[in-house]
Amino acid sequence: MPPTVRSQAAVLEKVGASLQLAELDLAAPGPQEVLVRIHASGVCHSDLSVMTGVIGTPLPAVLGHEAAGVVEAVGPGVTRVVPGDHVVLSWSPSCGACDECLRDLPQLCTAAWPAMFAGGLLDGTSRLSRAGEPVYHYSLISSFAERAVVSERSCVVIPREAPFEVASIVGCAVTTGVGAVWNTARVRPGDRVAVLGIGGVGLSAVMGAAAVGAWPIVAVDRVPDKLELARSCGATHAVQWAGSAEDTAEAIRSASGGGVDYAVEAIGRPEVGLAAFLSTRARGAAVLIGISKEGETLDLPLLSIPRLERRVLGSIYGSARPERDFRLILDLYLAGRLPLDRLVSGRLPLDGVNEALELVRAGLATRTVLLPTTEATGSHR
Ligand SMILES: [Zn+2]
Ligand SMILES: [Zn+2]
């Protein structure tokens, strides 16, 4: 068993502050836990939402929940990985035994979610500390750091050919977007799809729809440059936000020949959710991925639900089974069927984390990836 190690990490001390780099103590992995050297960590909007207080989590905490790296050591009883394995980390280390896991809904595991909000690992305690005082985990991972100790259930072994920077974003944005299309909606060839909100998650949904032969694929955003990017990732049509849900929905209906089968909402705002719903044709579904503020509501034209058999589908983490889907997504990437490189809009060292978060705040980055381990960043095709 390795002793406690030192790890440089980006700490959020309090809501409203920027992140501060600090040398923390990282305890050795306990039973069923794994020490991972972080090679790449994507910067996600959820990290920013913690900093602004929209998402609550115990502080001080090390943020970061979208990462890939190499297993350095394993605790007692670990069977899924061995040192040297390349892994993507899942922020939903499902237990396999609760009611939701038994219903094949590991993304809704009732053991993992409370542990996530408690700021520890699955046993409720943190492996991170500073001068003997605990520093909390965020999302059961904390990857804005050189190293992380995580549950072995968070570790999904990936092919060594997969570059770490692409693998890292499979841990959150890609799986959330692609999985909403493949798992939640189960889009089939020829289904008409709209994607509202072209960030990392929305672009991933566009790519997922293109990979399964959806047509048309209508990208929707306020920003013309993002619509162009969506076209380069497989969108067949582009609609600029028209100022209201009704007008935008009308433009999508027109572009899609009378309404879409699935309208994926990747923003988390009521007016965008309404536009998604109104853009669907009969039996169509709004697929709601975006995380809204607590207490937001969505008003829908009720009569059209029975009359047109319209539906609303919720999707968290792409309704994914990480141990299956991470590998599948990376295999398709390596085969040239998912152009995930296009999602990586920039790379920064760990001490560039606040700059990366500023790009998220300004809506300027598709995905900025931090590279905390600069001497090895994976092989690139
Ligand atoms: Zn995320
Ligand atoms: Zn469970």
> Residue 371: which region, alpha, beta or left (left: phi > 0; alpha: psi -120 to 50)?
beta
Q: What is the reported pLDDT for 319? A: 98
- Write the CATH number of the domain with boundaries 5-172+319-370: 3.90.180.10
Q: Average pLDDT over the chain, rounded to whole?
A: 95
Please name the residues in contact with 104: beta carbons below 8 A apart, sequence gap of 6 or more. Answer: none
Report CA(304)–ligand 1 centroid distance (Å): 33
Q: Which residues surround ligand 2, an ion (CB under 5 A)?
A: 94-95, 98, 101, 109, 111
Report CA(351)–ligand 1 centroid distance (Å): 20
Structure tokens at 25: 């103590």
Q: What is the reported pLDDT for 364? A: 82
Architecture of domain 186-314: 3-Layer(aba) Sandwich (3.40)
pLDDT in tens, 340-353: 999 999 999 999 99
Burial class (CB in 10 A: 0-12, 13-18, 19+), 133: exposed
Question: Could you say which DSSP state residue 199 is in?
Answer: S
Instruction: Indicate if the pLDDT at residue 375 is higher than 80.
Output: no
- Ligand closest to Cα of 266 equals 1
Query: What single letter denotes the amino acid at residue 299?
Result: D
Domain residue ranges in the chain:
5-172+319-370, 186-314
Report CA(88)–ligand 2 centroid distance (Å): 20
Residue 34: C-alpha distances to residues 61, 69, 308, 312, 323 (Å) = 19, 11, 50, 38, 16
Report CA(289)–ligand 1 centroid distance (Å): 12
Report CA(140)–ligand 1 centroid distance (Å): 12
pLDDT in tens, 13-70: 999 999 999 999 999 999 999 999 999 999 999 999 999 998 999 999 999 999 999 9
Report CA(321)–ligand 2 centroid distance (Å): 12
In degrees and rounded to multiples of 5, residue 315 shows phi and psi of: -145, 120
Q: Sorting pLDDT into bands at 50, 70 and 90, what band is 381?
A: very low
Q: Sorting pLDDT into bands at 50, 70 and 90, what band is 374?
A: low
pLDDT above 90 covers a percentage of the chain that reads 93
- Ligand closest to Cα of 115 equals 2
Question: What number of residues does the chain have?
Answer: 381
The residue-averaged pLDDT of 276-282 equals 98
Report CA(269)–ligand 2 centroid distance (Å): 29
